[in-house]
Amino acid sequence: MGTMGDQTFNRVIWASRRANKTLNTAKEQRLRPLDLPVAHYTLLAAISFRPGGTGAEMARELNVSPQNIVGLAARLELRGLIERRPRPSHRHVIELWITEAGEELLARADAAMIELERQIADILGPDSARQLGELLETLSDGLEKSPLPR
């Protein structure tokens, strides 16, 4: 039997897990008409934010394995959404660049995500939606800075 603090904490973990699952489903539904899985959208957005980044850099940024990035990048490249180019200073290092077609699809996907953000604001109210975003950022920052348990 846990303490009240334990129950509250478990509620936070459970609620965040449920919200994450629900949000991923909502993102999938909005991206499906664009034939863009959420993982592809996430990598495409990351490449747009960091043009010329390597697969290893993207893997660290997105907290996935480098092998996962290789597979995702290959699929995006086959669709003409990104290009893989050797880095001029180190030919064995491959950079990821978004193409014009990738930018166009990303803009449409971003518009779908903005609509989802609006739906969230409608459900929570604008102030609560803003506050939730701030609380989640504070939580992420705090957990990233916390020492790992032994």
Closest to 95 in 3D by CA, of 64, 150, 50, 131 = 50
pLDDT for 9 equals 62
Q: Is the pTM of this model over 0.95?
A: no
User: In the predicted model, what is the mean pLDDT of residues 61-83?
Assistant: 96
pLDDT of residue 1: 45
| End-to-end Cα separation, the chain, in angstroms | 24
Is the domain spanning 18-141 CATH 1.10.10.10? The answer is: yes
* pLDDT reported for residue 147: 74
**pLDDT for 142 beyond 50:** yes
The confidence band for 144, taking pLDDT boundaries of 50, 70 and 90, is confident
DSSP annotation of 88: T
Minimum mean pLDDT range among 2-6, 18-22, 74-78, 135-139: 2-6
Distance CA 120, CA 128 (A): 10
pLDDT at 65 over 50: yes
Q: Where are the domains of the chain?
A: 18-141
Q: At what angle do helices 100-124 and 126-145 cross, to 10 degrees?
A: 110
Q: What is the DSSP string of 58-84?
A: HHHHHTS-HHHHHHHHHHHHHTTSEEE
* The pLDDT of residue 102: 98
d(CA 91, CA 95): 10
What distance in Å separates the CA atoms of residue 73 and residue 95, rounded to the nearest whole number?
11
The label of the residue with tokens 């950079």 reads 95
Q: Is the separation of the CB atoms in 109 and 116 below 8 Å?
A: no
Please give the mean pLDDT across all residues of the chain. Answer: 92
Given this model, what pLDDT does residue 6 score?
Answer: 64
